[in-house]
């Protein structure tokens, strides 16, 4: 009987120690999750910034190309407006 009580006391002590360790582990994991969440948010912001920068770069290249093509066109002829004279016979 004393042996059983001693075994139960040991088990209770071990459960208490395990419980404390689990609580400590949970706090550490929560801290890590917060850090990862912050890192992911920073990555999302960086990706959004890169997308905008890339889009602006592509638009700039498109406008430069359009400008070069327009410069290579022959000059426009001046159009003189001449109203048609009605020819009534």
User: Per-residue pLDDT tens for 2-52?
Assistant: 888 888 888 888 899 999 999 999 999 999 999 999 999 999 999 999 999
CA distance 8 to 20: 18
Report the alpha-carbon distance of residue 60 to residue 51 in Å, rounded. Answer: 14
Given a cut of 70, is residue 89 above it in pLDDT? no
Give me 9's structure tokens: 């006391």
């Amino acid at each position: 009987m004393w042996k059983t009580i001693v075994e139960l006391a040991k088990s209770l002590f071990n459960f208490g120690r395990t419980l404390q360790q689990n609580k400590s582990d949970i706090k550490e994991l929560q801290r890590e999750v917060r850090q990862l969440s912050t890192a992911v948010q920073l990555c999302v912001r960086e990706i959004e910034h890169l997308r905008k920068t890339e889009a602006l770069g592509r638009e700039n290249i498109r406008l430069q190309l359009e400008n070069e093509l327009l410069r290579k066109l022959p000059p426009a002829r001046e159009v003189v407006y001449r109203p048609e004279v009605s020819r009534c016979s």
